[in-house]
């Protein structure tokens, strides 16, 4: 078989790429022989299997077992594309089901290294129904709170992509891999090949990161550390406030009106970024950067607290100040390692919303959903709900950063299901059993912002506001002249201190 690099490596080489010297212990399911020439009696099928075995040294198109990636034990399964195109037959299904059951029995995460052309036609419907077996095994693992990571190699198509690949919690792809439900021989002749590539699937929000082979071990290790399994993790700490200049704001005002050191510390600067990157997301790339991972007080903190806004107009102006630190700065300061989740799994992305998992300086994993100051689109809400539900299933606390003038309200957003997407995000937050911590870092624009706010654990910065409606729109609805916008803002009681007085916010950070 071709072996031009790790994306075309054998099943065993793909495993060795991750486990290295730690090694791999292979398991096998109980013997379950096929009838001559398979369940359909397909002439020449036995001979084809024998040739595939002689060529690859494997008994089937999948091998599985236990191994260690970085410092994390896991169950690994790997497809051998050289064995009948990595296709799924009944004995392949036996191995796949056994791999999932092994992960369940040992309470280990499952890492799948996928390279397959889909179901094996020589076994007909018996082969096709293996997809149902895989789906059922995946559901059992999911219900047990155990993570599934897929690394899609070249090629990953058909039912293997639609189950083991796209059905995983996190999907990483090797550069240049062909990825798609339709294989190269069954697509329309004028189909755009980019749509079936790793980069194309990333752009469409179906792949979380495109990871070069030499970064794959580090990326998978970080993901295993972040996803667990975990037991009884504490709530995500409230991020410290950042000033316009990038230095941290030293004090917080609690709901009781007393000053405390919550959220204080030394800062790493505001920073800049462009959202999710195609790289591993393991501490590299825009939107996947490293940071101090701090958020605890430091003896060096000093200086006056930033004053609270005196009027509603001032609060709005400060939240809209382009110099104010945005989500990227807060995330870079909060996490030592960030691992972006990309896309809504429905064909869309929203660059104005960042989500994923991260590791703080002490190693604590936290899932994050962060608005970047733009109107949040339906894809953003769907990605947020996906992230929150995954974190909840895995027992990982959630941090949300609220900063949006509101949900996108253009016609395209309506056609894309804005209302349903916002409703689903409200539901994900409401149903979460893990603690959700919210910090409003800028604009809190109506329901589009509230969908990401924790009902009993929301905090606000001194340069933020939250309102049922923007003051300008409220004045217009009330048929007031623009000169009365400031007075309307005061009436809305949207300042940080108002939000504490109203019981909406627990504290003012900074």
489-498 pLDDT, tens per residue? 999 999 999 9
d(CA 352, CA 373): 7
pTM score of the predicted model: 0.89
Overall average pLDDT of the 148-172 stretch: 96
Length of the chain: 510
Closest CA to 403 of 170, 249, 248, 242: 242
Residue of 236 and 261 predicted with greater confidence: 236
Overall average pLDDT of the 267-278 stretch: 38
52 φ, ψ (degrees, to nearest 5)? -65, -40
Q: What percent of the chain has pLDDT over 90?
A: 82
Whether the per-residue pLDDT at 193 is higher than 80: the answer is yes
Quick one: three-class SS letters along 146-202? CCEEEEEEEEEEHHHHHHHHCCCCEEEECCCCEEECCCCCCCCCCCCHHHHEHHHHH
d(CA 484, CA 494): 16
Task: Give me 214's structure tokens.
Answer: 């030499």
The mean-pLDDT minimum among 249-263, 425-439, 442-456 falls in 249-263
Whether the per-residue pLDDT at 74 is higher than 80: the answer is yes
The H or E element that residue 75 is part of is: strand 72-79
464 and 496 in contact (C-beta within 8 Å)?
A: yes
Spell out the residues 6+ positions from residue 296 whose beta carbon is closer than 8 angstroms to its own: 237, 265
* Distance (Å) of CA 236 to CA 86, 229, 263: 42, 17, 12
Residue of 8 and 39 predicted with greater confidence: 39
Residue 185: band (very low, low, confident or very high) from pLDDT cuts 50, 70, 90: confident
88 φ, ψ (degrees, to nearest 5)? -100, 115
d(CA 245, CA 253): 21
d(CA 510, CA 495): 14
11 and 62 in contact (C-beta within 8 Å)?
A: yes
């Amino acid at each position: 078989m071709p072996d031009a690099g790790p994306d075309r490596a054998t099943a065993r080489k793909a495993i060795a790429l991750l486990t290295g010297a730690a090694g791999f212990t292979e398991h096998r399911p109980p013997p379950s022989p096929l009838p001559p020439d398979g369940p359909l009696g397909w002439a020449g099928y036995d001979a084809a299997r024998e040739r595939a075995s002689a060529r690859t040294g494997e008994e089937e198109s999948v091998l599985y077992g236990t191994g260690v990636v970085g410092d994390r034990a896991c169950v690994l399964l790997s497809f051998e594309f050289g064995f009948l195109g990595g296709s799924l037959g009944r004995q392949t299904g036996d191995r796949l089901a056994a791999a999932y059951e092994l992960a369940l029995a040992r309470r280990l995460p499952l890492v799948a290294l996928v390279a397959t052309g889909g179901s094996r036609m020589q076994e007909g419907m018996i082969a096709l129904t293996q997809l149902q077996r895989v789906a059922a095994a995946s559901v059992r693992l999911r219900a047990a709170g155990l993570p599934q990571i897929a690394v899609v190699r070249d090629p990953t198509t058909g039912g293997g992509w639609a189950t083991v690949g796209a059905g995983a919690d996190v999907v990483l792809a090797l550069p240049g891999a062909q990825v798609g439900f339709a294989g190269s021989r069954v697509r329309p002749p004028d189909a755009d090949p980019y749509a079936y590539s790793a980069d194309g699937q990333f752009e469409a929000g179906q792949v979380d990161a495109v990871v070069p082979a030499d970064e794959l071990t580090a990326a998978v290790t970080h993901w295993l550390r972040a996803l667990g399994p975990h037991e009884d993790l504490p709530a995500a700490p409230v991020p410290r406030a950042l000033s316009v200049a990038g230095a941290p704001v030293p004090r917080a005002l609690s709901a009781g009106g007393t000053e405390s050191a919550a959220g204080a510390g030394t800062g790493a600067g505001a920073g800049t970024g462009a959202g999710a990157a195609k790289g591993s997301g393991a501490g590299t790339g825009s939107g996947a950067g490293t940071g101090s991972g701090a958020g605890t007080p430091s003896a060096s903190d000093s200086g006056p607290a930033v004053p609270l806004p005196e009027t509603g107009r001032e609060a709005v102006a400060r939240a809209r100040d382009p110099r104010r630190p945005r989500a990227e700065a807060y995330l870079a300061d909060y996490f030592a390692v960030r691992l972006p989740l990309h896309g809504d799994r429905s064909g869309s992305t929203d660059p104005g919303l960042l989500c994923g998992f991260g590791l703080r300086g002490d190693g604590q994993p936290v899932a994050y959903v962060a608005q970047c100051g733009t109107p949040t689109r339906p894809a953003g809400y769907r990605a947020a709900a996906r992230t929150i539900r995954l974190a909840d299933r895995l027992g990982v606390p959630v941090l949300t950063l609220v900063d949006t003038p509101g949900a996108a309200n253009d016609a395209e957003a309506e056609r894309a299901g804005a209302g349903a997407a916002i409703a689903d995000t409200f539901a994900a937050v409401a149903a979460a059993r893990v603690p959700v911590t919210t910090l409003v870092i800028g604009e809190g624009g109506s329901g589009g912002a509230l969908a990401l706010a924790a009902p009993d654990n929301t905090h606000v910065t001194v340069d933020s506001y939250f309102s049922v409606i923007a003051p300008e729109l409220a004045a217009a609805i009330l048929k007031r002249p623009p000169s009365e916008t400031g007075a309307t803002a005061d009436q809305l009681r949207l300042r940080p201190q108002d939000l504490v007085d109203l019981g909406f916010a627990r504290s003012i950070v900074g």
